[in-house]
């Protein structure tokens, strides 16, 4: 094990045992290096890895001895990892679609099962309205569409599913945009997608988990098939 990996393993231990906890400010670089008996560059390398994974945050502009703060943003870390892997081109698009479909299908079913009068749908409804605004460009639509899907997923209340799907956001946006650009009759597709979104939301509100799952599944796979992405990528 190399030095920065040993430092990472020690930090992981401190997080696991609760010696360091959420919101806590860690010792500065110099103090950590002394505690762990390693060089300051090795400490910095380990802290950079933790930052990229969304485990700690270092304040911009503050020196290395200000100390990193333990945060917990799984979405950030998973997001960066998935983004880099999709960028390197070895992750097939169909794998991204299938993973997304499996998790979102579960999430909307869960959202329907948990739905009650307290559930706040203002944001979901606002996004649906904006998506039907006339003159929307495809890029604007895709951005709103992604926001709508993540809002639905949040209703399921599962941090890990949210983090994974948040992490897949760029990869999903990429294939959705490619699909939208291929289609000849954007207006017709846009109308179909809006209708499907409304159907999914209505099923959630009715507490119809099975219906919401089926509609979400058909919505995600239907787009992939209808835009011709399925034949291009398989």
Residues lying near a second copy in the complex (CB under 8 A): 2, 4, 8, 12, 15-16, 18, 21-22, 41, 44-46, 48-50, 52-55, 60, 70, 72, 74, 77-78, 80-85, 87-92, 95-96, 98-99, 101-103, 105-107, 110, 158-161, 163-164
Q: How far is the CB of 134 from a second copy (least distance, A)?
A: 34
Residues 209 and 144: their CA atoms lie apart, in Å, by 24
- Alpha carbon of 89 to those of 32, 83, 146: distances in Å? 37, 10, 22
Residues 119 and 133: their CA atoms lie apart, in Å, by 25
Q: How far is the CB of 128 from a second copy (least distance, A)?
A: 25
Q: How far is the CB of 162 from a second copy (least distance, A)?
A: 9
Q: How far is the CB of 141 from a second copy (least distance, A)?
A: 23
Identify the three-state secondary structure at position 19. Answer: coil
Q: Which is nearer to a second copy, 92 or 133 (CB)?
A: 92
Q: Which is nearer to a second copy, 90 or 122 (CB)?
A: 90
Instruction: Note whether 197 and 148 are within 8 A (CB).
Output: yes
Q: Which is nearer to a second copy, 91 or 136 (CB)?
A: 91
Q: Which is nearer to a second copy, 21 or 137 (CB)?
A: 21
DSSP assigned state of 55: S
Q: Which is nearer to a second copy, 80 or 183 (CB)?
A: 80
Residues 96 and 67: their CA atoms lie apart, in Å, by 37
Q: How far is the CB of 169 from a second copy (least distance, A)?
A: 14
What token pair was written down for 218?
Answer: 């058909």
């Amino acid at each position: 094990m190399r030095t920065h990996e040993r430092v990472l393993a020690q930090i992981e231990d401190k997080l696991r045992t609760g010696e360091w906890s959420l919101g806590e400010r860690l010792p500065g670089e110099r103090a950590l290096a002394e505690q762990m008996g390693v060089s300051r560059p090795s400490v910095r390398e380990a802290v950079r890895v933790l930052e990229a994974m969304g485990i700690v945050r270092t304040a911009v502009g503050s020196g290395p001895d200000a100390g990193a703060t333990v945060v917990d943003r799984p979405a950030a870390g998973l997001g960066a990892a998935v983004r880099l892997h999709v960028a390197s081109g070895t992750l097939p698009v169909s794998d991204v679609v299938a993973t997304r479909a499996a998790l979102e299908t579960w999430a909307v079913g869960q959202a329907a099962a948990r739905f009650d009068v307290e559930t706040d749908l203002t944001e979901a409804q606002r996004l649906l309205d904006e998506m039907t605004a006339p003159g929307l460009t495809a890029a604007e639509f895709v951005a709103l569409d992604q926001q709508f899907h993540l809002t639905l997923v949040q209703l399921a209340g599962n941090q890990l599913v949210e983090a994974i799907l948040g992490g897949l956001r760029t990869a999903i946006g990429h294939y959705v945009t490619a699909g939208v650009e291929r289609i000849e009759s954007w207006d017709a597709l846009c109308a179909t997608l809006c209708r499907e979104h409304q159907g999914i939301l209505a099923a959630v509100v009715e507490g119809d988990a099975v219906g919401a799952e089926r509609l979400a599944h058909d919505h995600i796979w239907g787009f992939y098939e209808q835009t011709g992405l399925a034949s291009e990528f398989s």
